[in-house]
A = this chain, B = another copy of it.
Amino acid sequence: MEKEITIYDLAKILALSPATVSRALNDHPAINAKTKVLIAEKAAELGYRSNTFASHLRTRKTNTLGVIVPRLNSNFMSTVLAGMEEVANNVGYNLLISQSLESEVKERANAKTMFNSRVDGLLVSVAYDTYSFGHFSTFISRNIPVLFFDRILTHPQCGAVIIDNEQAGYDATRHLLDQGCRRIMHVTGDLRRNVYGDRLEGFKRALAGQNLSLDNRLILSTDLSQEAGRAVAEQIDQMQEKPDGLFIANDLCAAICMQALKEKGYAIPGDVAIVGFNNDPVSQVVSPQLTTIFYPGYQMGKTAMTTMIGQLNGTRPIDHSEPIILRSELIIRRSSILLEKS
């Protein structure tokens, strides 16, 4: 068990003051370049490591940012986190990551832990059933910035990074319409959640653009689980007037639904054309491959983190009136192609 080296040890050995050592280690401009080198070398030689707790205690900053996500195990979320990590690492921030497992109760507990760990800022994509803002207002009242991404809560003091879900919903629906579908069913999540509500708006706009009326029986609000995918297939099988197009706001759910439909004898895309959402790996593995919306996860993570850090540095003017919107993209695959390109 080696003894921990402190700046006092370094100071004594080099016949300098602890203050000088501290400044040198922090690259303070007032310190002579040669002394800096001297100190850095000695520090390295003795295996010195800064005691972050003493430092945090003094500076009242932790250099740690909290991230709360619904689940880690989605291709999207872990890509977002990779993007966040890259940016954070580069400027010396650590990440405290936790998952709410889609439950507001757990999210609340996570937020509390983050608060007690004194994160400098908090990045959140909210759980499926989160509607109260209460567990975040403690942060706001202590001036700790909170930034939402993807699944956002709208609050005047919080930034947000999202894709244009309305446009994505429009693109997906419009594509089905262009393929000749006239009776499109939309399977989505809780409509109070921005990602689902906005996609529905896009869905409606696309229908309206073709002067198609909206049939509310064709809008299904589910939990987008695998079971929901199976249930949707069952429901379609029971329907009198069956849909000829299916826009499902989640790839895994869509893939399962497609599979169930195939088992019931439906041809995809012949009987039902399908579009999913997220560009999850499953979308490439099902047959036929699933048309979907590409979600720029890495970019979203980087943007969110850059925004957060800019806000912490005070370098970036903060405008929370408008969310930052990233570009998403329709990826057309076999599950929805009814017309050969001319």
Which residues of chain A have a CB within 8 Å of any CB of chain B?
1-2, 49-54, 56-57, 62, 71-75, 77-79, 81-82, 85, 89, 94-99, 101, 109, 113, 115-118, 141-143, 226, 252, 255-256, 259, 262, 281-282, 284-287
Contact = CB atoms under 8 A, between A and B. Distances in A.
B284 A256 contact: yes
Given A72-B77, A75-B73, A53 B56 contact: yes
24 contacts: A50-B116, A52-B116, A53-B54, A53-B56, A53-B62, A53-B118, A54-B57, A72-B72, A72-B78, A73-B77, A78-B78, A82-B101, A85-B98, A94-B113, A95-B96, A95-B97, A97-B97, A226-B284, A256-B284, A259-B285, A281-B282, A282-B285, A286-B287, A287-B287
Contacts of A78: 71-73, 78, 99
A109 B81 contact: no
Contacts of A62: 53
Nearest to A101: B82
A74 B98 CA distance: 16
Of all A-B residue pairs in the complex, the 4 with the closest CB atoms, nearest first, are A73-B78, A72-B78, A53-B57, A53-B56
Contacts of A98: 85, 95
A155 to B, nearest CB: 17
B284 A285 contact: no
Given A53-B118, A96-B96, A281-B282, 5 more contacts: A54-B57, A57-B57, A82-B99, A95-B97, A286-B286
Given A226-B281, A285-B255, A117 B99 contact: no
Contacts of A50: 116
B94 A285 contact: no
A99 B171 CA distance: 34
A246 B82 CA distance: 33
Nearest to A286: B285
A81 B56 contact: no
A117 B75 CA distance: 28
Contacts of A252: 281, 285
A312 B77 CA distance: 31
A82 B72 contact: yes
B49 A57 contact: no
Contacts of A79: 73
Nearest to A73: B78
A237 to B, nearest CB: 18
Nearest to A283: B285
